[in-house]
Amino acid sequence: MKNINQKTRAYALKNALAHKGKSNQGAVISALFNEGLKKQDVKTYIEEISKIIQEVNSLSIEEQKKEFEKLENIVSKREIRHGLPELPNVKKSGVIMRFSPSPSGPLHIGHVRTACLSFLYVKKYGGKFYIRIEDTNPENIYKPAYKMIEQESKWLSRGLAKIIIQSKRMAIYYKYAEKLIKKNAAYVCTCSGDKFREYAKKQKNCPCRKLNVKENLLRWKKMLNKKGFKKGEAVLRFKSLEGMKNKNPAMRDFPLARINETPHPLQKNKYRVWPLMNLAVTADDIEMKMTHIIRGKDHRDNAERQKMMYKVLGKKYPWTFFLGRYKFKDLILSTTKTRQAIESGKYSGWDDPKLVTVAALKKKYKPEAFWKFTEQMGLIEADRTLDKKEFFKMLDNFNRDVM
């Protein structure tokens, strides 16, 4: 640990000033743990720490105040900036991270933590923070969510978020689809869904897997053409690295793009072939040069699929962390259920004070209260169940701190 003496002195002074001039050794050590002091190193430093605390405690409060003014900078800055554990592989230029909500509804507290973790790391190290609205499934979009997500993310990040809308980047996804076909890493499969599932179950290749690049490019054009394949007649599939024998059935030649002619809320009928999540996410993460990804645990299989695609495309996969889920004992987080409850009149709207949507929470709290909350919850893989009362008490405290 660097500058341990100076930090010890700063925390001892801070603690002494908060307790009538007498600093407590336990409190100082616990502050040092947050700074990166390791438990096994306490023995090495304990003598020096005790000595510094004694020195600080022998000063008058006036002297402590004077000295603390000079060292205050180290303490407060470190506390805000280093509430979260350090990330590995951080370059001098900082980190590039994203939060990718689907526009099926506005943001709620479950999103807040994932968004804030990435955002706080970008704030800490410098770099770029993207809010990427993943809207390439025309069937699962709640149109007002675009505006709400945009406003809410800007509010939450104090303007630092850069908003990206996937349906405006279709040319990129088509380019990647073609790239994969040309690398012989993707093929257009015309088997029915049932038939393909059967092949997958038996760990056998479907007949389309052996088509050559030229034939696949022709079939891909037929997918894009209105007069070509119809909905459900063809999908673009990734040629999985361990093929159809992959131990994990979810990895066996998963689909990359499909035909869906449902009018899209923003793009109307402009496109008929839509990339599925793994294609769009991989293309964007590569194009945006993502360095670190923090995502929900439920994306483990997707991450595995995306890793394969990175490999085929000759790219190094970003560092990834899988977050545990949040549950409330007595609150629903599901967007669909909340939407239904609003429509049936149970709630007055997305900003009903009984809800934990950002729309509701932002009327009462400052964004910094959520940053503190996120730091407090930390970077953990375990699921957590929160109690509504405790949660609001915690937020109230944090909000008071940042006033």
Kindly tell me which of 190 and 306 has the beta carbon lying closer to Zn ion: 190
Which DSSP string corresponds to 189-207?
Answer: E-S-HHHHHHHHHTT---G
Q: Distance between CA 172 and CA 180 in Å, rounded?
A: 12
Kindly tell me which of 234 and 283 has the beta carbon lying closer to Zn ion: 234
Unique residue bearing structure tokens 């299989």: 301
Q: What value does the CA radius of gyration of the chain take, rounded to a whole number of Å?
A: 26
Q: Distance between CA 395 and CA 156 in Å, rounded?
A: 14
* Closest distance of CB 232 from Zn ion, Å: 13
* Closest distance of CB 194 from Zn ion, Å: 12
The single-letter code of the amino acid at 164 is I
* String marking each residue 166-205 x if it binds Zn ion according to CB under 5 A: -----------------------x-x--------------
CB 347 within 8 A of CB 319: no
Site size for Zn ion (CB under 5 A): 4
Q: Distance between CA 331 and CA 315 in Å, rounded?
A: 42
Question: What phi and psi, each to the nearest 5 degrees, are found at residue 327?
Answer: -130, 145
* Closest distance of CB 256 from Zn ion, Å: 13
* Closest distance of CB 356 from Zn ion, Å: 44
Q: CA nearest 111: which of 84, 132, 128?
A: 132
Kindly tell me which of 84 and 191 has the beta carbon lying closer to Zn ion: 191
* Closest distance of CB 198 from Zn ion, Å: 11
Of 95, 208, 234, 273, which lies in the binding site for Zn ion, with binding defined by CB under 5 A? 208
| 3-state SS, residue 256 | strand
Q: Does 206 bind Zn ion (CB under 5 A)?
A: yes
Dihedral over Cα of 32, 35, 39, 45: its sign: negative
Kindly tell me which of 194 and 343 has the beta carbon lying closer to Zn ion: 194
Kindly tell me which of 211 and 277 has the beta carbon lying closer to Zn ion: 211
Kindly tell me which of 204 and 339 has the beta carbon lying closer to Zn ion: 204
* Closest distance of CB 301 from Zn ion, Å: 21
Q: Does 211 bind Zn ion (CB under 5 A)?
A: no
* Closest distance of CB 165 from Zn ion, Å: 32
Q: CA nearest 75: which of 126, 13, 121, 2?
A: 13
* String marking each residue 131-170 x if it binds Zn ion according to CB under 5 A: ----------------------------------------
Contact stretch for Zn ion (CB under 5 A) within 65-73, 208-216, 272-280, 328-336: 208-216
* Closest distance of CB 375 from Zn ion, Å: 49
Q: Distance between CA 216 and CA 53 in Å, rounded?
A: 73
Kindly tell me which of 116 and 189 has the beta carbon lying closer to Zn ion: 189
* Closest distance of CB 188 from Zn ion, Å: 8
Kindly tell me which of 208 and 273 has the beta carbon lying closer to Zn ion: 208
Which DSSP string corresponds to 159-224?
Answer: T-PEEEEGGG-HHHHHHHHHHHHHTT-EEEE-S-HHHHHHHHHTT---GGGG--HHHHHHHHHHHH
Q: Does 243 bind Zn ion (CB under 5 A)?
A: no
| 3-state SS, residue 293 | strand
CB 402 within 8 A of CB 369: yes
Kindly tell me which of 109 and 206 has the beta carbon lying closer to Zn ion: 206
Chain contacts with Zn ion (rule: CB under 5 A): 189, 191, 206, 208
